[in-house]
Structure 1
Amino acid sequence: MSAPLRNPVGAGLPEPTIRTATLADLDALVALEHAAFATDRAERRAIRHAIQSPTMDVLAALIDAPDADPTPVLVGAAVLERRRSSRIARLASIAVAPNRGGLGLGGRLLDAAEAHARARGCDRLRLEVRADNGAGIRLYERRGYVRFAVRPDYYEDGMEAWRYERGL
């Protein structure tokens, strides 16, 4: 079992490791969710459910602590959903610690989510992104994702979601 992660803090730019999250990571994942998103946050019990679900993968990106503390620091996470009867996976979320934005961590998490989906027999990945999330939209479009639908009033604040898909 992995050691629990600390909350997303810290300076320095060490290369993150991405691994499957465990229940020991729950507190840090909840803290990251609150740091990364102003609205539409997953609640603690939803994150716990995702970690324990046989049809979901929660990926944790962590770095070594900048001090002598042996506990890794959570700097990002991704949640992947699958259905047993489908070869299409859904990227439910990518969260990056605010002090790690613009450093390519979102792309690394996306790569890891795609690899997990392929390893579980999926051949397509779908996702939703806020229409005002320019950085997310640029990432997905650069990676070959194609917008195929718009969902009006999708988020808590009324913002629409753009739906994207890409073959794996």
Structure 2
Amino acid sequence: MPIVTLREAQRGDLDALVALEHAAFASDRAERRAIRHAITSPSMTLVVALVDEASAAPVLVGAATIERRRGSRSARLSSIAVSPARAGLGLGGRLLDAAEAEARRHGCTRLRLEVRADNGAGIRLYERRGYVRFAVRPDYYEDGMEAWRYEKDLGKAGDGTATRGSARRT
């Protein structure tokens, strides 16, 4: 089994992140400029997953982008992407765990996200992890697909616990 490392994205990851975005999403892709901004923004964290197979250099195979607003206790998981070649290895769950930990580290008590209504795997992941749907946004994606909005209560700021959530994208 390959070794997976999670860390914050660095500027040198930009090309691999753009390639991941194109491999993981058929539409609604983040542009290079937006990814570069996410890497350097003080109000965003971009976590990457790297697979280290002994025979080659580590390969970037997943990413999660977390957004925060000053004065808000809610963070937003604006994107989570896993290379289609690495699907089914639990990387989405590991990235989601990292996103929740990052939100807590910044004092957030809720994590929100949107997910395509036709993304069954994503919906199952979020619901298994305690996310609760609280709204639907019609015609949210480029192709007209609606988004289901989810939210999870991460517990009190700084206590490291998670409790049942109420009800958001990926």
- Runs of 4+ residues over 6 Å off in structure 1: none
* Distance in 2 (alpha carbons) for counterparts of 1:66 and 1:43: 32
CA deviation map 1:7-59 (0-9, x unaligned): xxxxxx41311000011100000000000000000010000001110000000
In structure 1, stretches of 5+ residues that fail to align are 1-12
Which residue of 2 is the match for residue 22 of structure 1?
10
CA RMSD of aligned residues (A): 0.9
In structure 2, stretches of 5+ residues that fail to align are 155-170
**Secondary structure of 1:61's partner?**
strand
| TM-score (structure 2 length as normaliser) | 0.88
| TM-score (structure 1 length as normaliser) | 0.89
Residues 8-157 of structure 1: matches in 2 within 5 Å? Answer: 13-67=1-55, 69=56, 71-157=57-143
- State the identity as a percent: 77
The 8 Å contact of residues 47 and 64 in structure 2, kept in 1 or not, is answered as: yes
Q: CA deviation at 1:64?
A: 1.4
* Distance in 2 (alpha carbons) for counterparts of 1:77 and 1:146: 22
* Distance in 2 (alpha carbons) for counterparts of 1:138 and 1:131: 11
* Distance in 2 (alpha carbons) for counterparts of 1:91 and 1:85: 17
* Distance in 1 (alpha carbons) for counterparts of 2:23 and 2:54: 19
